[in-house]
Amino acid sequence: MPIPFNRPHLTGKEAHYMYDAVYEGKLSGNGKYTQLCQRFFEEYYGFGKCLLTTSCTDALEMAALLVDIQPGDEVIMPSYTFVSTANAFILRGANIRFCDSRSEEPNINAELIEELITPRTKAIVPVHYAGVACDMERIMALAAKYNLWVVEDAAQAIDSYYTFSDGTQKALGSIGHLAAFSFHETKNIISGEGGMLAVNDECFKARAEIIWEKGTNRSSFFRGEVDKYGWVDIGSSFLPSEIIAAFLWAQLEHLEQIQQCRKAIWQAYYDGLQEWAVRHGIGLPIIPPYASNNAHMFYLICQSLEQRTALIEHLKKNRILAVFHYLSLHKSPFYAPRHDGRELPNSDRYSDCLVRLPMYYGLEVEQVVEELIKF
C-alpha cells in the first residue's frame, strides 16, 4: 500500500541509544533511559510520578490495582473505546457502566455520567479520544462530589491540554488521580508497544512503585530506605525493557518536531477537506473550546455505514488505507449479555460512521486530500 494508514517514524538515534544501554550493562527495566523518560514527562507536562509500562493496557491494570477494585465495584467509561479500557477493570472483578458519547465528537458525554453513579461506583475513566480532552472540569467535580477516583485513559493524548473555566491550562494526564498513556506504533510518540502510568495523587505513589516492581520493595532498597528487599504486596512485571525506553528517549528528543509535522498534516486535511465535507454532509473533527489539538488523528464522520464503506473502498482502490475504529463495547459478544440494556446511540453512530485517514510523520497529505475530493 503506497499510502498506509500508519508508518512508524524513526528520529535516527533509536539504535544508538539501544547500544548505549548495552554498554551500560543494563537492558532490563528501570535503567538510565527509563529514568530519563520518566523525569522528562514529570517535568515537561507536570505529571506526578511517572512509571513506564509495557503497554497502556498494563498502565490501566496498574490503575485498577491501585484504586483497589473489588468484585462488584462499578466503573463508568465510554462504550466507544478500546477493549483494554474495560478489560483492565474487569480483570479485578468490576462491572462496567458504559456511557454514551457526545453528539459533536466521540468523547464521553459528561452530562450523562451523574445518573450512572451508584453506591458501588468506584471510578470514572474518561478516554481522551483522538487526543482531544474530555470535559475534565465537570468530571473532576463529579468525582469530588461522590468521592470517586478518576483514571484518565490518555492513550492518544500525549502533548494535549485542557483549559479550565478560570483560564488555567493543564496537560491531559495531569488532571485525574491516575492517567495511562500509550506509545504503541500508531501513536504520536512510539516505542512499538509501550505505555506509562502517571500517578498524580500522592496517596498512590509508594504503592505504585511496589506494584510496578512485581510486589517487591526493590526500589526502596536501591534508594537505601530499607536494608533488604522482599515480597510485600501483589504486583506484576510492568516495567519495559531498557531497549524500549532507549527507543522512546530518541523519540522524546524530537517531540516538538514530530508534533509540528503532525499538526501541519492535520491542518492540511482540515483546510483541504472543509468545502468537500460540507458538500457531502461529512463531519470533520470538532475541538471543544476547552481542548487543544495534539494532531493524533484525523477522522471523518460519514452519514451512514454505506457511505463510509464506499469511501474506504474508493481510497483503497487508489491504494490509500483509511480505517474505521471501535465497535461499541456494550454491544460486543463479551459484554452484551452483561450490559444494562441502555441504548447508546452516539457510540453506535461513531462505530458505523467514523473513519480515520492516514496520519504519520512524512505523509504526503495532498495526495489523500486529492483522492477524497474525487469521491
Instruction: Let me know: does 66 contact 211? Beta carbons within 8 Å.
Output: yes
When the beta carbons of 131 and 358 are compared against a copy of itself, the nearer one is 358
Interface with a copy of itself, residue 193, by CB under 8 A: yes
| Closest CB 161 distance from a copy of itself, rounded Å | 27
In angstroms, the CA 54 to CA 95 distance is: 25
Task: Mark 210-229 with x for binding to a copy of itself (rule: CB under 8 A) and - for no binding.
Answer: ----xxx-----------x-
Q: Which residues contact 68 (CB under 8 A, 6 or more apart)?
A: none
184 or 262: whose CB is closer to a copy of itself?
A: 184
Residue from 2, 289, 333, 337 touching a copy of itself (CB under 8 A): that is 333
The residue among 57 and 156 lying less far from a copy of itself, judged by its C-beta, is 57
- b/e map of 317-347 (b: 16 or more CB within 10 Å)? ebebbbebbbbbbbebeebeeebeeeebebb
If binding is defined by CB under 8 A, does position 347 make contact with a copy of itself? no
Instruction: Kindly state whether residue 73 participates in binding a copy of itself, applying the rule CB under 8 A.
Output: no
178 beta partners: 151, 199
Closer to a copy of itself by CB, 87 or 293: give it: 87
C-alpha cell at 239: 516495567
Rounded to the nearest whole angstrom, what is the least distance from the CB of residue 27 to a copy of itself in the complex?
Answer: 4
Q: Does 55 bind a copy of itself (CB under 8 A)?
A: yes
Nearest residue to 128 (alpha-carbon basis) of 98, 97, 106: 106
Q: Does 107 bind a copy of itself (CB under 8 A)?
A: no
The minimum distance between CB 66 and a copy of itself, in angstroms, equals 14
Closest listed residue to residue 245, CA positions, set 47, 31, 19, 7: 31
- Pick from 334, 338, 370, 373 the residue near a copy of itself by CB under 8 A: 334
Closest distance between a copy of itself and the C-beta of residue 195, in Å?
8
| C-beta closer to a copy of itself: residue 11 or 267 | 11
For 198, which DSSP code?
A: E
Binders of a copy of itself among residues 23 to 52 (CB under 8 A) are 25-29
- Angstrom distance (rounded) from CA 296 to CA 355: 14
User: Phi-psi category of 286—alpha, beta or left, where left has phi over 0 and alpha has psi -120 to 50?
Assistant: beta
Question: Looking at 173, 194, 285, 358, which residue binds a copy of itself (CB under 8 A)?
Answer: 194
182 strand-pairing partners: 195
Instruction: Give the residue with the Cβ less far from a copy of itself, 170 or 342.
Output: 342
Helix H segments across the chain?
14-23, 32-45, 56-66, 83-90, 136-146, 205-212, 218-222, 242-252, 255-280, 305-317, 345-353, 365-373
Interface positions with a copy of itself (CB under 8 A): 4, 6-8, 10, 14-15, 18-19, 21-22, 25-29, 54-58, 61, 82-84, 86-88, 90-91, 184-186, 190-194, 214-216, 228, 230-237, 239-244, 247, 327, 329, 332-335
